[in-house]
Amino acid sequence: MKFLTKTTLLSLLLGMSSLFASSNLVDVKNRQLKNYASNIPSQCYTKTEDENKKVHNPCFACHITSKEPNYFDDWDLQKEYAFPEDALKNRWKNLFKDRTKEVNAISDDEILTYIRKDNYFGEDGELTLAKKLQNLPKEWDIDGDKKWDGYIPDCYYNFDEEGFDRDTKGGYSGWRAFGYYPFLGTFWPTNGSTDDVLIRLPMDFRKDENGSFDIETYKVNLAIVEALIKQKSINTDTIDEKKYGVDLNKDGNLSKANQITFDYDPLNGKHMSYVGLAKKKGHKIAAGLYPEGTEFLHSVRYIDIDEKSGIKMASRMKELRYGKKVNWATYTDHKALVEEELKEAHDFPDRLEVFIGDAERGVSNKRGWRYQGFIEDENGELRPQTYEENLFCIGCHASLGALADSTFVYQRKFEHGSFQNGWSHWTQKGLKGIAQPKTPDGRDEYTLYLKENGAGDEFRENDEVIKKFFDVNGTLKMSEANKLNKDMTHLIFPSLARALKLNKAYKVIVDEQSFIYGRDATVKPVKNVHKELKADESTGITKPIRY
Amino acid sequence: MKKITFSSLLVFLLLGCGSDSAEKIDDNKSDPDPIAQDEPVKNDPIKVEKGKKLFLQHCATCHGTDAKGITGPSIVGVTHEDISEAIAGEADMTYMQGIVLDSEQKLIAIYLNELKNITAPLDGLDRQRANLGKKLFFDKNLSLNKTLSCASCHDPLHAFIDARFSTNPVDGSLSVGDDGTTLGGRNAPTVMYAKLAPAFFTMDDGTHVGGQFWDGRAKDLKEQAKGPFVDQAEMMMPSTGSVVSRVKENTLYIEELKALYGQDIFNDNDKAYDAIAGSIAKFEKTTEFAPFDSKFDRSKLPYFHVDHYEMSEQEKLGYRLFFDHSQTHCSKCHSVNSSTESTIETFSNFRYENIGVPKNLDALLARDGHTDKIDLGIGGRADINDSKHHGKFKVPTLRNVAVTAPYMSNGVFKELKTVIKYFDYMAGNGHTLNPETDQPWREAEVNATINYPILKTLKPLSDEKIEALESFLNILTDKRYESLLK
């Protein structure tokens, strides 16, 4: 044994791995962290100043003016890398690897075959991962109780003309897909992945007052939640208020409503209400907050290519991410949490935050939400993420100005009047032909990002976007940016060649199972990222963006 | 209770062992933790001791007495495989070949693993449990009138003692309970370094070692944490069930306790209470409570180390006196290492002694309205109830002693110097007046069991020596509390 070096042992294991059905390279049960700062994303280490002392600001995407009850108004974090001591060293070392050789070794056909093979459904149409979790493998049973205490996939990705997911018998799973403006930077397909987001409200929200399932009641409740999260009135199809006994449009009568009027100021007697059983049972309601029990399902996928339509979602999932609001946190709770975090950061700037959870139940973000994910094992099958891999979710879903009750995109959902009134899956209608979104203060959001960041991704590694949108001096070509007002995919979709390259680069990380060192699909070592920071180092950004 | 021989006790104490290791000796088979796979590996104390000797002999020169590294890197927690690979050539240490045998490397690895258990930050499940414990430690909602948390009597700004001096009628000798008037039984001790006390056990000569509280009635930190909630002079909750109910008022606690101790943790009140106390104990096992960064510890670093502290002449004299058995015998009870050994020094042997402390009449009067009550210490415990042990209390650690006045189990002395002079008096060397009252020292609370054989061997202390000892005790203050020194 002594003659075997660690590397030969590893390659031996790698070779053997294909013989086994489940993952061997990662111990799902492991709770010991390699990177204690794994809740600080790789993007946060970006060098904001380039070699010419020009300053780039991708930070405002997340660190931005917040909206109550998100009291983490952190736009000032654009100005400095305010990291605890242990996080000063960038442990996302995958960014600095040269994967040219490995990427070149994968042919286009090979990668296309791979990403087109579905790893969510089995060949018999069964939900592979769900089946596995129901017959829990020992190596995934974190607490030894022989059952999986976390989420068991139950979405069929079979959407009707209203975005509802239907099971094999045509029944409702409760999941509903919606179209939304993709979040800035990382989540644009040109930077690595395609993805979708689904929402589901708890059972009480899907039932009428008598306790019977009623899809109309569910639709109204989802619209009410949309108004609460967007904190604005939203248009709807005609709703007979008499059926629900709620004055939804706040015209003073129970009439036919075409709007959910946002009018929430309980201290001045202005209340809102859910409908159906949720109303009868008195589920808690507040502006900017989801009902307790709300779930989100977020599949992150490879980029498939289609000679006719260009870019589309691949069948193969890179990850399946799940979040559930398990506790109600009041405005006061939210405020207290922020105050506590600020005081802790002030008194003990070098202490790292601890988040509670594991692979099975997911990790709590302290604000009532629990997040967990499934990720490909070395055979491409979905497996539970480890505690450390789950912490990666918390990096973004905890304390950021851009969040609304810990979520990113329901507030960015397409409005009533758009395709299927905004209730559709990307497989029903893609992003082509949709104009870029506006910031809350009316600016073109994607154009602002390009202008401030001088690139289309946090690492400024996406040459394709840089070439397309910037001149040799790094100045944004407005002629190109203006095209985004007609079609955002001009920016956010990669070329077919780039799509293939990104898929290959990520596949190498899957083969290595090295997610804890970063999941960014890069080929060459990145140049614009700090390997090590000084305490409270300035980003050089002097004029932070605020809305 | 399983008994243990004195020789194995010595071995055990020499390790500066935490209660985790002690549990093995204590033979406590009931493990209430439903999720226990992340508990640290328990090492055989004899192997640890052998490993320590080998480590000091072969490794400490380059890796430091605390193994955190000097010219060589930190090797805390490295494995036997790591050591053999390093010596085989991976770390350019081939010059150690043939010097440290394979069997010796194994022992060194065991010591280094033990060192990690004591000094390394908690990891995995323990780290998460400690985080919950921290919240519970500071939560006043867990007392009857919601006025007291653990931190009220164990204030982190004051080395975790009761620092409510201005509102305390007896200068902090006894703590004020949740009703704002009731006074507690004894002087609240520091929680700093409490994790180093082994779990309570009885030796074959019938004497006792370790445990928590002044009388060791709580086996370990977890059992200790169960006490104050339901103590009717402290947090005053009527029952353990009521504490669990209060915890359940916070949905975040419910969520976290379920995640950390199992989904069904609230099905059984005892298990839930155990988990609550267990998480507080985990918090108290974090490095927050044992930074080992006093000037004394820093003086043990090599002179070229950036944090090295050079003792003053007076501190050096105090240091020599403290460890000199022909002079003071301080270290006989207040140390488990010799003066030259590693920095992981507990400054207590965690045994029980009667040194003849007088009653604290003011405190008794304020609490009981009379001064009749006698505190029998460990000997008065219902489960021990032995006159041989009347008046004996656990030897406290001297780490942070200079900032954790008042002193003794009843807080009778307000100044550190008084305590040193009192020892000189008990040795029969003079100092016949209590400098705080200018009156003769009052009679001991319990006379019969005073350990005169040790006390009488103390050589007379001149003013110079007293000053020196006090200076030495001052440098046992952790870095973060140095600003509290007078």
Region A33-61: mean pLDDT is 94
- pLDDT confidence tier of residue A7, bands split at 50, 70 and 90: very low
A162-216 pLDDT per residue, tens = 999 999 999 999 999 999 999 999 999 999 999 999 999 999 999 999 999 999 9
Res A149 pLDDT > 60: yes
Res A490 pLDDT > 80: yes
* Contact between B272 and B266 (Cβ < 8 Å): yes
Which token pair is B259?
């995640």
Query: Which residue of chain A comes nearest to B38, CA vs CA?
Result: A31
Q: Answer yes or no: do B447 and B395 share one domain.
A: yes
Percent of chain B's residues with pLDDT above 70: 89
- pLDDT confidence tier of residue B45, bands split at 50, 70 and 90: low
Which range of A193-202, B85-94, B108-117, B118-127 scores highest in mean pLDDT? It is A193-202
CA–CA gap between residue B280 and residue B134 (Å, rounded)? 6
- CB-nearest to A354 from B34, B127, B263 is B127
- CB-nearest to B262 from A33, A143, A356 is A143
Res A13 pLDDT > 50: no
Tallying the residues shown for chain B, one arrives at 486
A29-41 pLDDT per residue, tens = 998 899 999 999 9
Q: What is the pLDDT of residue B72?
A: 85
Helix and strand counts by DSSP (H, E) for chain B: 19, 7
* Contact between A257 and A238 (Cβ < 8 Å): yes
Query: Cβ contact (<8 Å) for B131 and A356?
Result: yes
Q: Answer yes or no: do B162 and B232 share one domain.
A: yes
The mean pLDDT value of chain A amounts to 93
- CB-nearest to A364 from B38, B127, B259 is B259
Q: Answer yes or no: do B261 and B320 share one domain.
A: no
Question: How many domains is chain B partitioned into structurally?
Answer: 3
Among B263, B289, B315, residue at a domain's last position: B289
Using CA atoms, how far residue A229 sits from A196, A282, A393, B99, B467, in Å, is 19, 19, 21, 69, 68
Among B119, B141, B164, residue at a domain's last position: B119
Query: Which residue of chain B comes nearest to A148, CA vs CA?
Result: B263
Res B92 pLDDT > 90: no
Q: Answer yes or no: do B112 and B191 share one domain.
A: no
Which token pair is A14?
């790698």
Q: Answer yes or no: do B64 and B26 share one domain.
A: yes
Give the domain CATH number at B30. 1.10.760.10
Q: Answer yes or no: do B13 and B45 share one domain.
A: yes
Query: Cβ contact (<8 Å) for B259 and A326?
Result: no
* Chain B residues closer than 8 Å to A354 by CB: 127-128, 130-131
ipTM of the complex in this document? 0.80
Q: Answer yes or no: do B385 and B407 share one domain.
A: yes
- pLDDT confidence tier of residue B320, bands split at 50, 70 and 90: very high
Tallying the residues shown for chain A, one arrives at 547
**Burial category of B71 from C-beta neighbours within 10 Å (exposed 0-12, middle 13-18, buried 19 and up):** exposed
- CB-nearest to A149 from B254, B256, B263 is B263
CA–CA gap between residue B212 and residue B217 (Å, rounded)? 7
Written as one letter, the residue type at B261 is: Y
Q: What is the pLDDT of residue B147?
A: 97
Q: Answer yes or no: do B14 and B100 share one domain.
A: yes
> What's A12-66 look like in SS3?
HHHHHHCCCCCCCCCCCCCCCCCCCCCCCCHHHHECCECCCCCECCCHHHCCCCC
B411-438 pLDDT per residue, tens = 999 999 999 999 999 999 999 999 999 9
Can you give the residue range of the structural domain that contains B253? 124-289
Query: Cβ contact (<8 Å) for B34 and A143?
Result: yes
- Report how far Cα A470 is from the mean position of its chain's Cα atoms: 28
Task: For residue A358, give the nearest of A41, A22, A23, A32 by alpha carbon.
Answer: A32
Q: What is the pLDDT of residue A48?
A: 96
Q: Answer yes or no: do B343 and B448 share one domain.
A: yes
Among B51, B85, B119, residue at a domain's last position: B119
A290-300 pLDDT per residue, tens = 999 999 999 99
Q: Answer yes or no: do B300 and B448 share one domain.
A: yes
Percent of chain A's residues with pLDDT above 90: 89
CA–CA gap between residue A153 and residue A126 (Å, rounded)? 11
Lowest mean pLDDT, pick from A100-109, B122-131, B330-339, B475-484: B330-339
